[in-house]
Structure 1
Amino acid sequence: MSGVPRLLTESNVLDVWESGLAGPSAARSLLLASMAAPSPRSVADLPLSALNSLLLELRRDAFGAALPCTADCPGCGESLDVTVASHELLPAGGGAAAIATATLVSYGRTVTYRALTGRDVRAVDPEAPRARQTLLRRSVLSVDPPDGEVPDEVLEDVARHLAELDPGADSVLTLDCPQCEHHWDAALDLADHLWTDVCGYAHRLLHEVHALARAFGWTEADVLAISPTRRRFYLEASTG
């Protein structure tokens, strides 16, 4: 229904999981963000900070506000378990839906550029040669004077200013290692984090369906129609 965000629930999590299995990470990001968006059709054209806000909203409503993360210290290799609250990752203002533009002067050229969108990321194969440059080039609206392909050094100047244009486009955790006291910033891919949660939940649900189908001859629809509390009782009864 237009204007009403969908939720990630037991009734649709298997469909979402199945739909996202074959696609790349960028496609899964748009799929998941569309679940929390009032207008799913426009999700691909949102700036990345707005997409991240939708992913955080969906993750909080479906799995809670605490995001457990693991990172390896680049100083000593120690593995750290970190839990971050979703509100700590929200961009200021919750992620603007409008696509901001700006202009800079770089190497004698006046460059007008815009914030990157989900459609931009989806259009670029991250494994392709010069994928970074291809993505950055999508953000460039005009160059004056126009003289062919935008040089890499100009694209890197644009890259350095994109974070100012769209705060929250990248989710970063600031970490301190208790072993060697190394201090560093670690990137957090919200879509991959949420997708891991979705996969884990879908697998548990399918195992429950399998166990109850074997024990009682129920169909998948029969099992999913039962509340989680009663389902646990039947699972215990089938193994008792």
Structure 2
Amino acid sequence: MRPELTEAQLLSVWETGDGQAPPARALLLAAAAAAPGEAVADLTLADLNALLLDLREGSFGAALPCAADCPNCDEPLEVSVTTDELRAPGRRNVPGPRRDPATLLAEGYEVTYRALTGGDLLSVDPASPEARRTLLSRCVVDTTPAADDLPEGVLETVAQRLADLDPGADTVVPLTCPYCRHAWTAALDVADYLWAEVEGYARRLLHEVHTLASVYGWSESEVLAVSPARRRFYLAATAV
């Protein structure tokens, strides 16, 4: 069964996450979709994306309308992608198989590394000029010979291997421009997309609560107890 936000839960999530950094909002949304007590900060990015896609599908549907500009001819495009197209194979409703740390050889180092987690993103200041290096360094479990400060080239090799270690950590959409036929892939940040929808819905809902509370004297909980279809009728009646 897909997780689904009730309107009351949606308002609570929005209120808690409003003003927080994107990684914190992503973990907040994932926690709303996770099993009780699950430590979402310890999940890999692919598992987090799987939870977010399930929550999005259960709360807003499977189709995600998107807009993009062709990088070749600058034509604006409207496209739609589904949650299944973004979801990595096997990542639906349950976390994918756990990946053990992997090992690579680069520039004379044997490096054991693991997949990135939500907690890693949360711990790094994205505004720092060293953010990328810090994030990649967190993936390194061990090195031979031992090194506290690996060369840049070694860390970039680790970065290139992370996608193979955790398929689904990056969500991309293949696109083809209907005007010039240029083909490319565009990244889609599932957490940012879902948060924008949650925020938009929350603000519209609060306006509905304000209007109906002002006209009928209902409390917020009483307004939320009314179905969206009936609320639309009452809102239309207030405008008469």
Q: What TM-score do the two structures reach when normalised by structure 1?
A: 0.94
Correspondence for 1:47: 44
Correspondence for 2:180: 180
Deviation, 1:61, is 0.2
Alpha-carbon separation, structure 2, partners of 1:117 and 1:145:
25
Say whether the 8 Å CA contact 2:3–2:54 is kept in structure 1: no
Alpha-carbon separation, structure 1, partners of 2:38 and 2:24:
13
Aligned length: 237
Say whether the 8 Å CA contact 2:2–2:54 is kept in structure 1: no
Say whether the 8 Å CA contact 1:45–1:117 is kept in structure 2: yes
Alpha-carbon separation, structure 2, partners of 1:200 and 1:128:
30
Q: Secondary structure at the match of 1:12?
A: helix
Correspondence for 1:56: 53
Correspondence for 2:198: 198
Alpha-carbon separation, structure 2, partners of 1:33 and 1:195:
11
Alpha-carbon separation, structure 1, partners of 2:118 and 2:198:
20
Aligned pair in 2 of structure 1 residues 105, 201: CA closer, same or farther (>3 Å)? same
Alpha-carbon separation, structure 2, partners of 1:91 and 1:72:
25
Correspondence for 1:132: 132
Correspondence for 2:143: 143
One-letter amino acid of the structure 1 residue matched with residue 153 of structure 2: E
Correspondence for 1:216: 216
Aligned pair in 2 of structure 1 residues 198, 97: CA closer, same or farther (>3 Å)? farther
Aligned pair in 2 of structure 1 residues 6, 57: CA closer, same or farther (>3 Å)? closer
Alpha-carbon separation, structure 2, partners of 1:91 and 1:26:
20
Deviation, 1:41, is 3.9
Say whether the 8 Å CA contact 2:33–2:51 is kept in structure 1: yes
Correspondence for 2:32: 35
Alpha-carbon separation, structure 1, partners of 2:100 and 2:86:
20
Deviation, 1:175, is 0.7
Alpha-carbon separation, structure 1, partners of 2:234 and 2:67:
35
Alpha-carbon separation, structure 1, partners of 2:112 and 2:143:
7
Deviation, 1:107, is 0.4
Q: Any unmatched runs of 5+ in structure 1?
A: none
User: Is residue 68 of structure 1 aligned with residue 69 of structure 2?
Assistant: no
User: Is residue 25 of structure 1 aligned with residue 22 of structure 2?
Assistant: yes
One-letter amino acid of the structure 2 residue matched with residue 165 of structure 1: L
Deviation, 1:218, is 2.0
Say whether the 8 Å CA contact 2:3–2:58 is kept in structure 1: no
One-letter amino acid of the structure 1 residue matched with residue 161 of structure 2: H
Q: Secondary structure at the match of 1:93?
A: coil
Aligned pair in 2 of structure 1 residues 212, 102: CA closer, same or farther (>3 Å)? same
Identity of aligned residues (%): 54
Deviation, 1:7, is 3.2
Alpha-carbon separation, structure 2, partners of 1:47 and 1:56:
14
> What RMSD over aligned residues (CA atoms) do the two structures have, in Å?
1.5
Q: Secondary structure at the match of 1:203?
A: helix
One-letter amino acid of the structure 2 residue matched with residue 162 of structure 1: L
Alpha-carbon separation, structure 1, partners of 2:43 and 2:184:
29
Correspondence for 2:117: 117
Say whether the 8 Å CA contact 2:2–2:58 is kept in structure 1: no
Q: What TM-score do the two structures reach when normalised by structure 2?
A: 0.94
The CA deviation string for residues 189-239 of structure 1, in whole angstroms up to 9 with x for no partner, is 000000011011111111111111222222222211212122112111111
Alpha-carbon separation, structure 1, partners of 2:199 and 2:208:
14
Deviation, 1:57, is 0.1
Correspondence for 1:163: 163
Show structure 1 runs of 4+ deviating over 6 A.
none
Q: Any unmatched runs of 5+ in structure 2?
A: none
